């Protein structure tokens, strides 16, 4: 079988089209799941258009588009079965998966977390086999971030929940640097300090940039250790995902027809021999 290893291949191809323009068919407390607006936002079925607002369903309404924005969201430690299986616990994401596209034959690269994040953003694990910190295993190689820093456009940004300082290499509270791969590339440091920022909550930096349409070509989202499912229940992570996916897909930036969203898990929880994980692609051109 042909397993895409890593997701870098998929995103790299998308970014290649994005760069070339080729047509293709500030409160860091951060648990959006606790906000009452979350429940309202995720109660709608994204598989169907909303007749009250006339909004389009999130996928399948554009036959052709030129992607100008790719948003990549990473979650933690669940198998495909636990998320999108017949008894999966992620009902909000499952609705988006039903309406959009799901990779049913995608395996994570490795265990534990960090090798997956590095492989997905650079094309290689660079020999990393642990969750080592940035001082122990800096990555001296090219990356998606570096390629986009060198380009005049479209640029990149990362938004990390509960991160206290830009491009923070330390881990504390619910912020884990090992889930924020941009901080591992020393050559990227100057750009990282400018573009790797605290996400904030429902009215934070990312929310404001999204609403204003000020996202760059590539946006990497780093949920905190609860909202990504690492330390909290699948339902909590799914509620967080449902809220933000609803906000993204109803934003003017997405409704312009030129944005794509990829949601993936870094690895399973070691409960199965296979390291198959859920990956959902949401874009107007996805049938």
pLDDT, position 269: 79
**Of residues 181, 269, 199, the one with CA closest to residue 240:** 199
Q: CA angle, corner 126, sides to 123 and 108, nearest 5? A: 55
Backbone angles phi, psi at 142, to 5 degrees: -75, 160
| DSSP SS3 for 74 | strand
Give bridge partners of residue 196 from the DSSP assignment.
158
| Nearest residue to 93 (alpha-carbon basis) of 57, 45, 33 | 45
Note the pLDDT tens digit of each residue in 74-83. 999 899 999 9
Residue 5 has pLDDT above 70, yes or no: no
pLDDT digits (tens, 9 = 90+) for 245-256: 999 999 999 999
Position 23 pLDDT exceeds 90:
no
- Residue 158 corresponds to which tokens in the numbers above? 């990362």
Report d(CA 75, CA 242) in Å as an integer.
13
Q: Number of helices (H) and strands (E) in the chain: give both, helices first.
A: 10, 7
Alpha-carbon distance values, 96 to 63, 242, 283 (Å): 19, 9, 10
Residues in the chain: 287
- pLDDT class of 213 with cuts at 50, 70, 90: very high
pLDDT exceeds 80 at position 1: no
pTM of this structure? 0.84
């Amino acid at each position: 079988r042909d397993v895409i290893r890593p997701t870098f291949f998929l995103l790299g191809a998308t970014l290649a089209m994005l760069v070339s323009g080729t047509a293709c068919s500030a409160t860091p407390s951060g648990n959006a799941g606790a906000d009452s607006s979350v429940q309202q936002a995720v109660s709608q079925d994204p598989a169907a258009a909303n007749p009250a607002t006339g909004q389009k369903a999130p996928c399948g309404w554009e036959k052709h588009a030129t992607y100008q924005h790719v948003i990549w969201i990473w979650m933690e430690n669940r198998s495909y079965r636990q998320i999108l299986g017949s008894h999966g616990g992620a009902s909000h994401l499952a609705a988006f998966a039903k309406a959009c596209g799901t990779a049913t034959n995608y395996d994570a690269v490795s265990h534990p977390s960090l090798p997956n994040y590095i492989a997905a953003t650079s094309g290689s694990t660079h020999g990393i086999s642990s969750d080592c910190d940035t001082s122990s295993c800096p990555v001296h190689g090219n990356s998606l971030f570096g390629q986009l820093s060198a380009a005049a456009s479209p640029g990149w940004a990362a938004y990390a929940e509960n991160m206290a300082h830009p491009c923070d290499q330390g881990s504390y509270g619910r912020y884990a640097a090992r889930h924020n791969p941009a901080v591992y590339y020393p050559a990227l440091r100057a750009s990282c300090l400018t573009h790797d920022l605290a996400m904030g909550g429902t009215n934070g930096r990312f929310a404001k940039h999204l609403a204003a349409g000020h996202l760059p070509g590539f946006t990497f989202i780093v949920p905190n250790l609860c909202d990504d499912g690492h330390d909290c229940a699948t339902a909590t992570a799914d509620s967080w995902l449902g809220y933000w996916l609803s906000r993204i897909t109803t934003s003017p930036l997405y409704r312009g027809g030129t944005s794509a969203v990829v949601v993936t898990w870094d690895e399973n929880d070691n409960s199965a021999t296979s390291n198959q994980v859920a990956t959902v692609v949401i874009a107007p051109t996805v049938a």
